[in-house]
Structure formats: structure tokens, C-alpha cells
Amino acid sequence: MEALLAHLRDAIARGEYAVGAKLPSEAALGREFQVSRSVVREALRGLQALGLTTSQAGKGTFVVADEPVDNPRFGSYSARDLLEVRRHVEIPAAGYAALRHTPDDLGLLTDLLERMTRETDDTAWVALDSLFHITVAQASGNPVFGKVIEEIRDALARQSAFLNQRGDRRAASDAEHRELVDAIASGQDSAAAEAMAHHLANVEHALGDLVSRP
């Protein structure tokens, strides 16, 4: 996925696919690069998030710019929208989760960690990632936190899939999640809030790296 996205970005930057041009179909790209349709689909979503292309139902994917935007979009929300909200919701929610979690909350978070570590399918891992963050918010004991994260679930999944195009990001995210669960289990609200803040800072850094990557 990362290699295909990089190739298509480079081809657009070089003018191989000029603004207004139509990209090859998912099937054609899959045959050319010998990858699955799901890999092609995620790479095309990455181009769209970067503001380089737009998808027209029944017609295909068309180039709309030759340079990526600074603030990618994931469905209805931009990366900046998501980061601002997540800092104000998920960091305090993690702190409350350390103080208020139940044994069932901790058991579910631990189970999600193990499933994510074992998961080999990227799409399945992304779904588990969104569920993990919803579960942390729910463990806060305040249902409003959980509702907010559920509202942006689709955008979080799109962003997570985009970040996984940086080859090392998924393993790093697993490690950051484990640190967060350990902090919640310890009952130390400041440690849990700090672990979530660290995770979100790394998300922001990875996004910036992917957007600026030549």
C-alpha cells in the first residue's frame, strides 16, 4: 500500500497523470502492481485524503491537484478537526478511565490489545483500533466521551488506514496502546492522560510525515 501510494503520488507530481486526468481502474492497478483490490482501494483513498484526487461514482478517480494539501480529509472531517477534538476528549477520558474503569473494561481492553497484535489483515486491525479508542472513552464512566468517539469512528478508521501506509506505524501504535492500558490498569490518571497525549502526538507526527513525504 505504501509503495503504491508513493508511486501514484510521484506519477502525479511528475505530470504522468496531469490535473483532470483519470487514473487507471482499481482492477488495472491491481494487475499492474500485482496487489489486491483492497490494497489499491486504500492507496486511492490516501490520494483522496491528500487532496490529489476525487472519486466520481461510476466514472473513476480523477486528478484534481499535483501537490498534497497540508490538512488531509478523512470522510467528513479533516485531520486538524480530529486532532483538536481527540486532544480535548481522549486525554481526559483516559485519565478518568484510570480512576473509574471496571474489571470488565480492563478485560476488554486487554483482549483488544491481543487481537490487534495477532491480526494480519489491515482492514480488520483498523476496525479493532477504532473499537479500542471507543472502549477507552467508555471506560471513563462518562457516556458522553464514548458518544463523541463513536461519532467520529468512520473518520478515525480512515485516518488509521492512511497512517498504516507508513510501514512502521502499526507496530508503534500497538506499543503505545499497551502503554496506555498499563497506565489505566495502574489507576494513575496522570500517567494514563500522558500515555494518550503521547499516542496522539505520534499520530500527528506520522500524519505530517506522510503529507510531506516526496
pLDDT digits (tens, 9 = 90+) for 68-108: 888 999 988 999 999 999 999 999 999 999 999 999 999 99
CATH of domain 2-63: 1.10.10.10
Using CA atoms, how far residue 123 sits from 12, 140, 168, 180, 213, in Å, is 26, 27, 16, 22, 23
pLDDT at position 212 is 82
Q: Where do the domains of the chain lie?
A: 2-63, 75-212
All cell numbers assigned to 162: 492512511
pTM: 0.84
All cell numbers assigned to 191: 500517567
Between 42 and 177, residue with greater pLDDT? 177
Task: Please state which of the ranges 84-93, 140-149, 179-188, 204-213 shows the lowest mean pLDDT.
Answer: 204-213
Asked, colleague to colleague, whether 2-63 and 75-212 share their fold, the answer is no
Per-residue pLDDT of 109-165, as tens digits, reads 999 999 999 998 888 999 999 999 999 999 999 999 999 999 999 999 999 988 987
Between CA 153 and CA 163, with CA 157 as vertex, the angle to 5 degrees is: 140
Using CA atoms, how far residue 36 sits from 58, 63, 65, in Å, is 20, 22, 26
**Which among 49, 51, 83 has a CA at the least distance from the CA of 162?**
49
**What is the C-alpha to C-alpha distance for residues 116 and 120, in angstroms, rounded to an integer?**
8
Phi then psi dihedrals of residue 55, to 5 deg: -105, 130
pLDDT at position 46 is 87
Fill in the amino acid letter for 200.
Answer: L
By residue count, the chain amounts to 214
Q: What is the fold, at CATH topology level, of the domain defined by 75-212?
A: Four Helix Bundle (Hemerythrin (Met), subunit A) (1.20.120)
Phi then psi dihedrals of residue 7, to 5 deg: -65, -45
pLDDT at position 210 is 85
**What is the C-alpha to C-alpha distance for residues 97 and 1, in angstroms, rounded to an integer?**
35
Is 214 a residue whose pLDDT tops 70?
no
